[in-house]
Chains A and B, each alone.
Chain A
């Protein structure tokens, strides 16, 4: 047995002992009798209410029965999940299995590091490329101190040549933040692999998870990885610092967006109109045109006669003033009399 084999065997023995000491008697399994009993009670009450013609009461009881059945279903689902775990505990990897896994890790990943002092096992993936975005290689580092109870905090995924999201430097992969993976559908697979001491499977599952992208639930989506350019000023902006114009759907940054004074909608510079009177901005749907001067104004500056405030004042003034011709003739008449 060479030195490397000895090291691997020592790690395997430690891990196997740990897995053995983690075996605890399975918890007592109890069926959801209380939830079932409650559903039965509601059902009996419904029959009684219908028999007596209390239709309103029976309808309300049907709603309560539905809730009770949902509760029962939830409890059954939880129970199903819970009893799967003790079943999985049936097979725990032997020392030979763990040794074989550690040897196979070298063939799968090439770059494997077993640190006896820190009790960690690390592998390095190839550079991960998702939808054309290169995220670099990742080191998957498993802490061997607590394989079962420590999950999911007992392993870290470290970007070795990070290309983090523009909006958040701690997000180095759509499903990795602060070196922790959001496991999604891999959660139970990873847990089972750790509980059974299947190290090779653990590293394969985590590396496959890193090679996959779930666009429905990322920390930062790949489409937003590098941020988006503001349509108006061209600045790169990330998801929580940008707004979509409600008319043309262009992205604008916090410096360039306009809020319509009437509908409060958010718009880009090309989709708003500045009021010729008060200089407030309103969207093209809310802005109006003065029927007299034809200038665009906000709704607040247009009166009921579709006149802007200036034209309204002007018209009022004109209607109050006597006609110029009459005034002139009266002045002329007065002048003639005096002469």
Chain B
């Protein structure tokens, strides 16, 4: 059981990290609370499913196409829906909620409400420390790790990353220093949704695909981001691992744990917030008046 907990926690933590870091990034740079974030994850899973079962493209090709298509689509959504109401925080909030609802209903209409299963991309499993880990879960872990390294590289070793971090730090000063903050915000949206889309594609064969699959990870992701500190990459990563393990422990070790896993994760978030209102690694934003 211990090994089960270790492996499941790590794999779920990896997926949550992909989602939470993207969400955190977009909040840090553009101050957008993007409720539709996990809806893009759902879109990517559906896109992957369609390409895989209808066109007969390979796994790798379908995955790449889904991620890039969803990313492009997200930029389009940002330009058409979010940017016109950027000054009104409340309007942005419900615009993202409405977008998520639109995606959910579109998928419900096109594919129906039943669960869709995707054949496993990789068969077989490897035995490690006495636990058999299916290759599919190992793949999730590897992809998540690779994406995290990639994001770290983009953020800390490129000029775009510098611009993103500068904008997150202080939008006005970054603007005065000659950075095109609108372009930076758009690039951030693309990066963050690409992360969500990658998560959607890799988990699709493990979880079931249905139009409501965005709700549960949304709540967990929000808990992680708040736990780790809004806008902090390190916090999101560590928060994701904490919540991943807490969920795994609750499911495996507590009776009726499957019902309680969300509640326990959220309870931990609330406790952390009580002790440290800005989250574990949060930077207390200066008074924004």
Q: Do the two chains belong together in a single complex?
A: no
List the interface of chain A (C-beta within 8 A of B).
Answer: none
